[in-house]
């Protein structure tokens, strides 16, 4: 199975198994942002999850969470941030837009500058984070070894797992850090509608998320540059991952405007399954008029409402009481 299809089907299956927030393609590095992208992240809700749900359906910007803006007396925004003013202003505007901040119109009018406060105290809403690296074909590993070494040594997630369709040999296991769990994903090939099954080849170890971590940077002949990431930096990075997962989810794909592609909801989650290719497709890179199976769409693909589906199938809420509706299309990457 192509990695994109593998990823979507695994996300749909993981979502159906419990109450975790499932997301895909999230940054998971600290010293070198963007150098490590986790294919799938599962965020386990914590004791104050309902309080987070009530605030907003959107990702809350980390500078707004880390700021000295509280729920009590309003504060002049510039005095509440310890970062570049441009970044602070952007965070303030976004926090106001999504309903995490509110403007104190009285104080702002009197002083001639913006005073803001939080609408609610930021809750301790998530517990464990699980990162999953998808590699359907272990015969084409790419940078798999270095990616998993980074996950194990940096320890941003509580557990790191490799998911594959390949038969896993002892040689494969020896090349994978022992802390990393291994799943083999099965499906009855005789039944196209059969659910995925997860065979646990090796259980993941609990990673030391509360301790400093080592992030590999650049490899050179005979040596590797590293950065030591302290526990506080890791905690903030974990919060960013959890927030990104909550706001983004995993339904960040498009449906092609082609009648050969069906909005297939047989697994409970609607996926772009191409009848001509016989599998889930990545519309952004695979589907255009040059495809031999292309048929100009007559059906209304715009009727596919992935936001409503996520609201129905998960503990995330698209439109919490008193908060404004999330703006689709703003969070497709990151």
Q: What is the pLDDT of residues 287-330, one digit of tens each?
A: 989 999 998 877 666 678 899 999 999 999 999 975 443 443 33
172 and 242, same structural domain? yes
Kindly state whether residues 95 and 236 are assigned to the same domain.
no
Radius of gyration of the chain, Cα coordinates, nearest whole angstrom = 22
Q: Are residues 131 and 113 in the same domain?
A: no
Question: Quick check: is 281 in a domain?
Answer: no
Q: Does residue 219 carry a pLDDT above 60?
A: yes
261 found inside a domain: no
pLDDT in tens, 20-35: 999 999 999 999 998 9
| Contact between residue 128 and residue 108 where contact means Cβ atoms under 8 Å apart | no
Residues in the chain: 334
109 lies in the same domain as 146 = no
131 and 228 share a domain? yes
Angle at 316 between CA 203 and CA 160, to 5 degrees: 20
pTM: 0.91
> Domain containing 78: what range?
61-118
Last residue of a domain, one of 101, 118, 135: 118
Start-to-end CA distance of the chain, whole Å, equals: 25
Whose CA is closest to 176, among 212, 201, 213, 210?
Answer: 201
pLDDT score of 300: 63
Q: Are residues 97 and 223 in the same domain?
A: no
Q: CA-CA distance, 316 to 21, in Å (whole number)?
A: 8
E strand map for 135-179: 159-164
> Do 215 and 236 fall within a single domain?
yes
DSSP letter, residue 242:
H
Where among 229, 248, 267 does a domain terminate? 248
Domain shared by 113 and 133, yes or no? no
Are 24 and 105 members of one domain? no
What would you measure as the largest C-alpha separation in the chain, in angstroms? 72
Is the domain of 152 the same as that of 133? Answer: yes
pLDDT over 80 at 243, yes or no = yes
112-129 residue pLDDT tens: 789 999 999 999 999 999
- Mean of pLDDT over the chain: 90
Number of domains in the chain: 2
**Joined tokens for residue 280:** 């889930």
Q: How far apart are CA 181 and CA 178, in angstroms?
A: 8
Q: Per the domain annotation, does 106 fall within a domain? A: yes
Q: Per-residue pLDDT averaged across 161-189, rounded?
A: 93
Burial label, 21 (beta-carbon count in 10 A; 0-12, 13-18, 19+): buried
**Domain match, 81 and 229 both:** no
Query: Both 91 and 197 in a single domain?
Result: no
More confident residue, 109 or 103: 103
Confidence check: pLDDT of 67 > 80? yes
Mean pLDDT to the nearest integer, 237-256: 96
């Amino acid at each position: 199975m192509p990695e994109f299809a593998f990823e979507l089907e695994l996300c749909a299956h993981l979502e159906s198994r419990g109450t975790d927030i499932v997301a895909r393609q999230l940054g998971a590095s600290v010293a070198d942002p963007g150098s490590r992208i986790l294919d799938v992240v599962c965020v386990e809700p914590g004791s104050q999850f309902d309080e987070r749900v009530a605030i907003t359906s959107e990702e809350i910007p980390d500078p707004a969470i880390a700021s000295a803006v509280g729920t009590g007396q309003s504060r002049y925004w510039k005095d509440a941030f310890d970062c570049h003013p441009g970044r602070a202003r952007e965070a303030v505007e976004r926090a106001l837009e999504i309903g995490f901040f509110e403007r104190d119109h009285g104080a702002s009018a009197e002083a001639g500058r913006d005073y803001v406060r939080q609408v609610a105290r930021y809750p301790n809403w998530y517990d464990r984070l699980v990162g999953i690296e998808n590699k359907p074909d272990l015969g084409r590993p790419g940078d798999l070894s270095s990616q998993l070494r980074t996950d194990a040594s940096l320890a941003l997630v509580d557990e790191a797992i490799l998911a594959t369709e390949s038969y896993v040999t002892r040689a494969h296991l020896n090349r994978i850090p022992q802390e990393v769990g291994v799943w083999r994903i099965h499906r009855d090939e005789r039944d196209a509608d059969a659910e995925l099954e997860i065979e646990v080849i090796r259980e993941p170890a609990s990673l030391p998320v509360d301790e400093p971590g080592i992030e590999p940077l650049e490899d050179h002949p005979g040596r590797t540059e590293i950065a030591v990431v302290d526990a506080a930096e890791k905690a903030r990075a974990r919060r960013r991952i959890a927030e990104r997962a909550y706001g983004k989810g995993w339904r960040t794909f498009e449906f092609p405007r082609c009648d050969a592609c069906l909005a297939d909801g047989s697994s409970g989650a609607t996926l772009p399954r191409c009848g001509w290719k016989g599998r889930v497709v990545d519309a952004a890179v695979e589907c255009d008029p040059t495809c031999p199976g292309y048929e100009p769409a007559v059906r209304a693909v715009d009727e596919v409402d992935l936001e409503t589906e996520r609201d129905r199938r998960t503990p995330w809420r698209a439109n919490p009481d008193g908060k404004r509706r999330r703006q689709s299309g703003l969070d497709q990457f990151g």
